[in-house]
């Protein structure tokens, strides 16, 4: 589940990483924010958000599937 948390991390990275060195500390959510609100490309930011949502849903589904198989053993 920490992988899902890493995908969703925004506030800590945005608050702690200086804006001039965001290249190395960029998470997908920070990149979506930057593209959508800083560069005013709302459509691209929305599309990236939907893709991130789908990736998180797939990872969650796979984790639940693996956890369900581990309980039956």
Kindly report the number of other CB atoms within 10 A of residue 43's CB atom. Answer: 9
More confident residue, 3 or 22: 3
**Pair 56, 5: CB distance under 8 Å:** no
How much of the chain, in percent, has pLDDT values that exceed 90? 36
Identify the pLDDT of residue 62. Answer: 92
Q: What is the pTM of this model?
A: 0.76
Q: What is the pLDDT of residues 39-64, one digit of tens each?
A: 999 999 999 999 999 999 999 999 89
């Amino acid at each position: 589940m920490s992988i899902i948390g890493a995908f969703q991390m925004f506030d800590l990275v945005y608050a702690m990483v200086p804006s001039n060195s965001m290249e190395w500390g960029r998470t997908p959510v920070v990149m979506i924010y930057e593209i959508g609100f800083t560069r005013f490309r709302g459509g691209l930011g929305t599309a990236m958000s939907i893709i991130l949502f789908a990736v998180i849903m797939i990872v969650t589904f796979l984790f639940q599937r693996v956890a369900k198989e581990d309980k039956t053993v």
